[in-house]
A and B are shown apart, each in its own frame.
Chain A
């Protein structure tokens, strides 16, 4: 770990494999140009969902992949974000652009409150606690009259498309760009995090807490930091999702399925790797959306059966996810020597 840290310090931040840079730049330009080709709204929806789930999975990746703590109730932060924007917009007329930050702030506070007692202990305690939290939030919001209890919040519609209220009724293209920009920002931030000193410390905490402790890394503090960062990535996605569908209720935004799918995407793509969630989301979300179209009427839970099966198969045969099929030297930074 020490030698890796020194290596990380000595190399400039931008020094990475040229092939990867050109591929990533090409993809980003392609993604920005995509709506110009006149995609129909289903494909736009598909891409929006991929971006959203990739960011959500990335958020889970920060806590589970980097610092090694499994959160089974990450949907709670998604719901907090969703309720924050809708509630403040409907009650006080605050634009979602500001209340996204309220959602992030509230999520961060909850992450600290949960993290302080739980993250001092081994992972099982945290996993069980987060499972309880995810369901507790759903129970509380189902009965909280101020936020519409079980019927949820129906965001007041603006008569026309509005960037201030972040509502677009005529086309999905603006949503596409909003989600795309959040997606790129998040990935850039997490990518920076993964190769920063903080990222290396988090991975040290994950791999060997005792060794990390002996190197003066305060293990529980770093776990809490990771949890807060993760919560703050999750909350804006909830906010944007609320603006996208404009009707939120506890059963939708606090659903345990959200916590399941972020876990699944990350484990499928490759846990602890920045690119894992992108790969996982771009494989799983199309499968899930198409299976919803073709198998949707047959009882509903078919895609969940596949999720469970895929999760077990991946855990048994490919614990490092699909990304382990890609040769390592493509992903790692170019050696300078």
Chain B
């Protein structure tokens, strides 16, 4: 065990963490807006990866260029989700809300399994390929660009929410739906925008990951679990908290895999989750 290997694990973990951060940010945005945890988040990620894959396989479009289309598709998917499902359960009990989004996740995953079979797929010869060597550390190019794009998207999301008028309206709706409605902010529209943006983030992450990750119907489960943990760690509803939480999870996952056993990486994340919930239930940057 040399310092180079540890450095390598740190870099890998950091790159993974930035992707987790963006996925979690979408989840956190949706939760902050309407206090609904989207249990179908992993399935939406799976959809974005498949959208990237099919655009490549049917039209020969490289995943790098199909990202805008993937984002639009996912945003549209988010609006559909809001319009057909979430709209009806906004006032329902939390129990029903959890069951409904969980039902959506089962539905999407099994439809995908029926349509596309559970085979593993990957994109052959994308533009982003190969690796670069910095000192003694090898960095895969697709991973590097994926994490950079995710970081950029994250910064963009943060600036959008804190600086633009629509973003401020989103924040107002998140703080107090009724007060915002009195001020002329239609909360239903804001919810739809929130879903579109939240799933748009997932579209970016999934589109970039399609460059190097295996694409199969169950791919979303692990990412969604990590995103849930990141949201709890960063504080439910806090977007900037997701960045730190995502990076922490990425590092723990990769260091734990290196130092103990890679097959139990879910357990390390679970241990972090337990520790956070026991010692700092409101998370690092939580509002509650």
Contacts and interface: CB of A to CB of B under 8 A. Distances in A.
A123 B269 CA distance: 20
Main SS class of interface, A: helix
Given A301-B110, A308-B105, A128 B229 contact: yes
B88 A123 contact: no
A156 B134 CA distance: 57
A180 interface: no
B86 to A, nearest CB: 10
Nearest to B113: A301
A109 interface: no
Nearest to A310: B103
A308 B98 contact: no
B98 A123 contact: yes
Contacts of A133: 270
B114 interface: yes
A308 B39 CA distance: 12
Contact of B99 (A118, A143, A311): A311
Nearest to A114: B274
A308 B107 contact: yes
A131 interface: yes
A267 B100 CA distance: 10
A323 interface: no
A271 B99 CA distance: 11
B266 A139 contact: yes
B106 A129 contact: no
B281 A121 contact: yes
Contacts of B225: 128, 131-132, 135
Contact of A140 (B99, B228, B267): B267
Contacts of A38: none
Contact of B113 (A127, A128, A260, A300): A300
B236 interface: yes
Most-contacted residue by chain A among B39, B102, B267, B281 (CB, 10 A): B102
A197 to B, nearest CB: 23
B264 interface: yes
Given A135-B225, A299-B117, A311-B99, A316 B88 contact: yes
B278 interface: yes
Contacts of B267: 136, 139-140
B93 interface: yes
Most-contacted residue by chain B among A139, A312, A315 (CB, 10 A): A315
Interface in A104-156: 117-118, 120-125, 127-129, 131-133, 135-136, 139-140, 143
A127 B98 CA distance: 8
Nearest to A116: B278
B88 A70 contact: no
Most-contacted residue by chain A among B105, B108, B277 (CB, 10 A): B277
A309 B107 contact: yes
A124 B281 CA distance: 12
Contact of B266 (A70, A136, A300): A136
Interface string B238-279: 000000000000000000000000011011011001100110
B113 to A, nearest CB: 4
Contacts of B117: 299
B221 interface: yes
B155 interface: no
Contact of A64 (B95, B221, B228): B95
Interface in A45-101: 64, 68, 70, 72
Given A68-B95, A121-B281, A143-B263, A128 B232 contact: yes
The size bracket of the interface on A is: 35 or more
A260 B106 contact: yes
Given A125-B281, A305-B111, A311 B103 contact: yes
B145 to A, nearest CB: 30
A120 B281 contact: yes
A70 B278 contact: no
A70 B92 CA distance: 15
B94 A123 contact: yes
Most-contacted residue by chain B among A128, A143, A264 (CB, 10 A): A128
Contacts of A70: 94-95, 98-99
A117 B272 CA distance: 13
Contacts of B113: 299-301, 304
A125 B277 contact: yes
Contacts of B85: 312, 316
Given A129-B274, A308-B109, A311-B102, 14 more contacts: A124-B37, A127-B98, A128-B228, A128-B273, A132-B229, A136-B267, A139-B266, A304-B106, A305-B110, A307-B103, A308-B105, A309-B107, A312-B100, A312-B107
25 contacts: A70-B98, A72-B102, A117-B278, A122-B94, A124-B94, A128-B225, A131-B228, A132-B225, A133-B270, A135-B221, A135-B266, A139-B263, A139-B264, A139-B267, A140-B264, A143-B263, A299-B117, A301-B111, A301-B113, A304-B110, A307-B106, A309-B103, A312-B107, A315-B89, A319-B93
